[in-house]
C-alpha cells in the first residue's frame, strides 16, 4: 500500500488571551466554590487560553444554541481560512489542487458552513470533495486524519484536514459545581490545518503508517458531549485519567505490534493535551520520560485543551521544534467521549 505524508501545517488562534490566574476573579461574588477554583487553576498546567469570547466584555452563558451556532460561523471562518492558507503554503500546494477538504469540529455546525465557504474564500475548485466530521470530541483529529490519508493514498490530488474548535461558545449557565469549574478552566479555542499528500508527490513530512483505536463502552458515561438548549454541555469524570492509563498500553501494543515495534523503540510522542492529569496518565502508563511529553505540556500551557484541534497543534509544534527524523517511528494519541482512545503510527520522511 502506498503511504501518505503530512507535508504542511498551519495554526490560527483568536486574539483574546485569558490568563488562567484571572479565573477566580471572574466568578460571581460570593460563589461557594471560589477556593475550589483556585486549586483547580493551580494544578491545571495552563498559563493562558485563546478565546473568541472575551469574558471581560461578554457573557454567553445564557445564550440559546442557535445563537451560539451563528456566532461559531462568524468566528470560525477567518481562523479556518488563515490556518488552511498557511498549511497549503507550507506544503507548496495551491488551493485548486486540493481534492478533499475534511473539516472537523465538535463545537459548531451549520449548512452551508465553514467547509463550503472555504471553497469560495480560498479559491478552491468547486469540484473539491468535502467531508464534515462532527461531535466526536477531542479524539476526532485522528479519524479525520485517517480519512485524509485514505484519500491521498488512492487519488493523485492532496487532501486537507481542518480542525476548528470554539469551546468558549459553550459556557454553561451558573451555578457551577466542581465538575463544571474544571470544564470552564480547561478548554481553549483555535484552528489547525494539515495537508496530506501521497508519497509520489513532492514535499517532505511524516508518513501516516497505521491507526489503532479502542472504545471502552463500559465507561462511556464518564465523558459526554451533548446538544442542549444552551449550547453543548459536557460531562467529565475525574476517573478519566485512570481509565485511559488502564487501556492505553494495550492500544499502543495493538498499533505497534504488526510493525514489529515496541513502545521502548519509539522516541517521538505526540500526546493530546487534554489536561495535566491526562498527559501524566500517558506518561506513567507507557513509562515515558518527561521530555517525551514536553511538547504536549507546552501546548497545554499556552492554549489549554483545544478539543479535536489539540493533538494537531502538538504535531505542528513537534514538527517545528523536533521534527520526526527520517525513517524513525513516532506515535500520536488522543482521547474522547465513548470512552475512546485513538492512536496513529507515524514514520519520519
Contact yes or no for 315/196 (Cβ under 8 A): no
**Whether residues 211 and 172 fall in one domain:** no
**Whether residues 148 and 248 fall in one domain:** no
- Summarize the confidence of residues 221-231 as an average pLDDT: 95
How far apart are alpha carbons 28 and 81 in whole angstroms?
36
**Whether residues 174 and 255 fall in one domain:** no
What is the reported pLDDT for 204? Answer: 86
The strand order across the sheet containing 129-134 reads 129-134, 100-105, 159-166, 189-198, 4-12, 207-215, 340-347, 329-336, 269-271
| Of the residues 198, 228, 247, the one at which a domain ends | 198
Q: What is the CATH number of the domain that holds 122?
A: 3.40.47.10
In the chain, DSSP assigns E strands to 4-12, 16-19, 48-51, 100-105, 129-134, 159-166, 189-198, 207-215, 223-225, 234-236, 269-271, 329-336, 340-347
**Whether residues 212 and 322 fall in one domain:** yes
Please state the pTM of the whole predicted model. 0.95
DSSP annotation string for 95-133? GGG--EEEEEESS---SS-HHHHHHHHHT--TT-EEEEE
How far apart are alpha carbons 65 and 273 in whole angstroms?
27
Mean of the per-residue pLDDT values of the chain:
95
The answer, yes or no, to whether residue 121 has pLDDT greater than 70, is yes
Contact yes or no for 276/43 (Cβ under 8 A): yes
pLDDT tens by residue, 240-265: 999 999 999 999 999 999 999 999 99
What is the reported pLDDT for 258? Answer: 97
C-alpha cell at 54: 472575551
pLDDT tens by residue, 292-339: 999 999 999 999 999 999 999 999 999 999 999 999 999 999 999 999
**Whether residues 134 and 259 fall in one domain:** no
Q: Is 60 helix (H, G, I), strand (E, B) or coil?
A: coil
**Whether residues 236 and 327 fall in one domain:** yes
What is the reported pLDDT for 2? Answer: 59
**Whether residues 88 and 221 fall in one domain:** no
Q: Which of 173, 166, 171, 207 is nearest to 73 (CA)?
A: 166
pLDDT tens by residue, 141-153: 999 999 999 999 9
**Whether residues 148 and 279 fall in one domain:** no
What is the reported pLDDT for 106? Answer: 97
Q: Which of 122, 130, 202, 189 is nearest to 159 (CA)?
A: 130
Residue 311 DSSP code: H
Contact yes or no for 161/104 (Cβ under 8 A): yes
| Of the residues 144, 172, 198, the one at which a domain ends | 198
**Whether residues 192 and 232 fall in one domain:** no
The total of other beta-carbon atoms located within 10 Å of residue 217's CB is: 10
C-alpha cell at 171: 459556557
**Whether residues 267 and 168 fall in one domain:** no
| Of the residues 198, 217, 237, the one at which a domain ends | 198
- Using CA atoms, how far residue 129 sits from 25, 83, 119, 254, in Å, is 47, 19, 10, 32
- Using CA atoms, how far residue 232 sits from 83, 162, 173, 238, 254, in Å, is 25, 21, 11, 19, 33
Residue with more model confidence, 176 or 191: 191
**Whether residues 14 and 78 fall in one domain:** yes
C-alpha cell at 231: 449550547
Segments forming the whole domain that contains residue 257: 207-347
pLDDT tens by residue, 181-223: 999 999 999 999 999 999 877 678 999 999 999 999 999 999 9
**Whether residues 181 and 117 fall in one domain:** yes
Distance of CA 67 to the CA centre of its chain: 24
Confidence tier at 119 by pLDDT (50, 70, 90): very high
Share of the chain above pLDDT 90, in %: 93
- What are the φ/ψ torsions at residue 87 (nearest 5 degrees)? -65, -45
Number of domains the chain is built from: 2
Residue with more model confidence, 349 or 160: 160
What is the reported pLDDT for 314? Answer: 98
What is the reported pLDDT for 31? Answer: 84
For the annotated catalytic residues, the residue numbers are: 138
The answer, yes or no, to whether residue 1 has pLDDT greater than 50, is no
Contact yes or no for 61/26 (Cβ under 8 A): no
pLDDT tens by residue, 65-99: 999 999 999 999 999 999 999 999 999 999 999 99
Amino acid at each position: 500500500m502506498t503511504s501518505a505524508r503530512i507535508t504542511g501545517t498551519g495554526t490560527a488562534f483568536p486574539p483574546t488571551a485569558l490568563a488562567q490566574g484571572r479565573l477566580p476573579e471572574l466568578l460571581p461574588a460570593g460563589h461557594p466554590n471560589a477556593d475550589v477554583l483556585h486549586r483547580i487553576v493551580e494544578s491545571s498546567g495552563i498559563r493562558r487560553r485563546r478565546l473568541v469570547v472575551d469574558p471581560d466584555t461578554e457573557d454567553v452563558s445564557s445564550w440559546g444554541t442557535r445563537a451560539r451556532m451563528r456566532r461559531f460561523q462568524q468566528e470560525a471562518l477567518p481562523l479556518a481560512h488563515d490556518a488552511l492558507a498557511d498549511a497549503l503554503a507550507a506544503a507548496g500546494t495551491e488551493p485548486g489542487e486540493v481534492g478533499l477538504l475534511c473539516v472537523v469540529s465538535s463545537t459548531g455546525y451549520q449548512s452551508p458552513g465553514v467547509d463550503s465557504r472555504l471553497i469560495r474564500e480560498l479559491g478552491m475548485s468547486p469540484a473539491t470533495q468535502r467531508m464534515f466530521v462532527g461531535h466526536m470530541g477531542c479524539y476526532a483529529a485522528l479519524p479525520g486524519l485517517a480519512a485524509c490519508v485514505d484519500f491521498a493514498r488512492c487519488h493523485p490530488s492532496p487532501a486537507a484536514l481542518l480542525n476548528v474548535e470554539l469551546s468558549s461558545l459553550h459556557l454553561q449557565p451558573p451555578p457551577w459545581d466542581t465538575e463544571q469549574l474544571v470544564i470552564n478552566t480547561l478548554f481553549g479555542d483555535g484552528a489547525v490545518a494539515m495537508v496530506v499528500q501521497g508519497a509520489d508527490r513532492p514535499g517532505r513530512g511524516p508518513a501516516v503508517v497505521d491507526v489503532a483505536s479502542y472504545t471502552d463502552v463500559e465507561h462511556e458515561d464518564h465523558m459526554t458531549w451533548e446538544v442542549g438548549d444552551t449550547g453543548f454541555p459536557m460531562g467529565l469524570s475525574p476517573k478519566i485519567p485512570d481509565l485511559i492509563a488502564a487501556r492505553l498500553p494495550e492500544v499502543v501494543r495493538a498499533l505497534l505490534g504488526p510493525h514489529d515495534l515496541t513502545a521502548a523503540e519509539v522516541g517521538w510522542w505526540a500526546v493530546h493535551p487534554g489536561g495535566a492529569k491526562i498527559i501524566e496518565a500517558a506518561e506513567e502508563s507507557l513509562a515515558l520520560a518527561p521530555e517525551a511529553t514536553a511538547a504536549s505540556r507546552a501546548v497545554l500551557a499556552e492554549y489549554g485543551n483545544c478539543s479535536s484541534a489539540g493533538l494537531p497543534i502538538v504535531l505542528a509544534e513537534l514538527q517545528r521544534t523536533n521534527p520526526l527524523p527520517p525513517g524513525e517511528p513516532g506515535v500520536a494519541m488522543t482521547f474522547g467521549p465513548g470512552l475512546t482512545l485513538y492512536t496513529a503510527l507515524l514514520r519520519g520522511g
